[in-house]
């Protein structure tokens, strides 16, 4: 018996619908379909006659999205396990040259965080995995136990602006001399041992940035975003719109820089000069939305 798809609450849904403004018969590329929350809001606006292409690196999320969508939209939807950085490949395989709308909702979703076997969170103990695509070989445990002290320090600093990156890296190397650090709680305790009381009473757990940095490295998230931003406009029809939702400053900075470069080159206009954020009601109902920032651009060149 199949279990029901996990509960899902996508962020900024109303804003995505309003600012992407899809029309009947259009083609949408959703590069991070996740559990399909945005898809279910956008699909009615392009059907009948439209086409929705959903990519995701996580086969579990993709299966859940398929289950959620299929009963309401049995045709016109293509779901593919793949990285949005390989946009040209997937569109070519589907016989699509350009699309009308693009959407990326970056980061890890609640269903991934809530599964201790995925290793994304230290809320419950689990293996240090953190892979979106579980077919890939490299896991977080390999980085934690295989990188040098200086490599770990750089990873924590450049992927998460961790202020105590060198002390944490040094402590990890000390601890792993006594055996591999192989679980989420074991790593969290190492980070806590460095911070001591410094983070006491704070809103952010001491290990949050370290886990973010490792997840970004395991999945090459920033490299994937850079590559997508490099090619995306070539596959967006003139007049088409691109919306990207980010969850930390590194992602948002890359999107901001790319949009400004595109504007300077005369290729796009920034529909949102400032990032769109969740309103107080959404922020209260969905804590994940508190760090969400969305930028939207429209292709103008031909």
For residue range 221-272, list pLDDT tens digits in order: 999 999 999 999 999 999 999 999 999 999 999 999 999 999 999 999 999 9
225 and 210 assigned to the same domain: no
Domain termination site, one of 200, 218, 236: 218
What's residue 251's pLDDT? 96
Share of the chain above pLDDT 90, in %: 87
pLDDT at 2 over 60: no
Contacts of 158 (CB under 8 A, 6+ apart): 213
Tokens 């590069």 sit at which residue? 31
17 and 107 assigned to the same domain: yes
The CATH number of the domain where 152 resides is what? 1.10.150.170
What's residue 202's pLDDT? 58
What's residue 109's pLDDT? 84
Is 127 domain-assigned? no
Angle at 42 between CA 134 and CA 263, to 5 degrees: 85
Going by pLDDT thresholds of 50, 70 and 90, the confidence category of residue 205 is confident
Structural domain count, the chain: 2
Domain termination site, one of 218, 245, 274: 218
Longest Cα separation, the chain: 61
Q: What number of residues does the chain have?
A: 302
What's residue 179's pLDDT? 96
Cβ neighbour number for residue 279 with a 10 Å cutoff: 12
Q: Crossing angle of helices 149-160/208-218, nearest 10°? A: 100
- Domain containing 214: what range? 134-218
Domain termination site, one of 201, 218, 235: 218
What's residue 107's pLDDT? 76
Tell me the per-residue pLDDT of 234-246, one tens digit each, with 9 for 90 and over.
999 999 999 999 9
What's residue 300's pLDDT? 97
CA dihedral for 94, 243, 44, 280, sign (positive or negative):
positive
66 and 203 assigned to the same domain: no
pLDDT at 7 over 60: no
Is 7 domain-assigned? no
Tell me the per-residue pLDDT of 35-90, one tens digit each, with 9 for 90 and over.
999 999 999 999 999 999 999 999 999 999 999 999 899 999 999 999 999 999 99
Going by pLDDT thresholds of 50, 70 and 90, the confidence category of residue 203 is low
Tell me the per-residue pLDDT of 129-167, one tens digit each, with 9 for 90 and over.
999 999 999 999 999 999 999 999 999 999 999 999 999
CA dihedral for 229, 231, 235, 237, sign (positive or negative):
positive
What's residue 101's pLDDT? 98
Is 88 domain-assigned? yes
Q: Give the closest residue to 29 by CA, choosing from 294, 228, 256, 291.
A: 228
Share of the chain above pLDDT 70, in %: 95
Going by pLDDT thresholds of 50, 70 and 90, the confidence category of residue 6 is very low
pTM: 0.93
CA distance 5 to 283: 24
């Amino acid at each position: 018996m199949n279990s029901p798809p996990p509960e899902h609450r996508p962020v900024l849904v109303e804003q995505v619908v309003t600012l992407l403004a899809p029309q009947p018969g259009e083609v949408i590329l959703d590069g991070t379909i996740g559990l399909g929350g945005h898809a279910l809001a956008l699909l009615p606006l392009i059907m009948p006659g439209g086409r929705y292409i959903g990519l995701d690196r996580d086969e579990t999320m993709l299966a859940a999205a398929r289950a959620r969508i299929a009963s309401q939209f049995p045709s016109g939807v293509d779901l593919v396990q793949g990285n949005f950085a390989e946009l040209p490949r997937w569109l070519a395989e589907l016989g699509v040259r350009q699309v009308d709308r693009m959407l990326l909702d970056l980061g890890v979703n609640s269903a991934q965080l809530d599964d201790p076997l995925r290793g994304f969170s230290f809320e419950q103990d689990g293996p240090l995995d953190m892979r979106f695509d579980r077919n890939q070989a490299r896991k977080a445990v390999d980085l934690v136990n295989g990188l040098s002290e200086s490599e770990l320090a750089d990873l924590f600093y450049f992927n998460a602006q961790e202020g105590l990156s060198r002390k944490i890296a040094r402590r990890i190397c000390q601890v792993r001399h006594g055996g591999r650090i192989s679980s989420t709680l074991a790593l969290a305790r190492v980070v806590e041992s460095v911070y001591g009381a410094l983070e006491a009473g704070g809103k952010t757990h001491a290990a949050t940035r370290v886990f973010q940095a490792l997840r970004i490295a395991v999945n090459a998230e920033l490299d994937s975003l850079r590559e997508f931003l490099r090619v995306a406009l070539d596959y967006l029809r003139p007049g088409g719109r691109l919306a990207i939702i980010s969850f930390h400053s590194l992602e948002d900075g890359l999107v901001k820089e790319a949009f400004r470069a595109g504007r300077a080159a005369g290729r796009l206009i920034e529909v949102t000069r400032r990032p769109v954020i969740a309103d107080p009601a959404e922020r209260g109902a969905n804590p994940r939305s508190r760090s969400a920032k969305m930028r939207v651009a429209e292709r103008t060149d031909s």
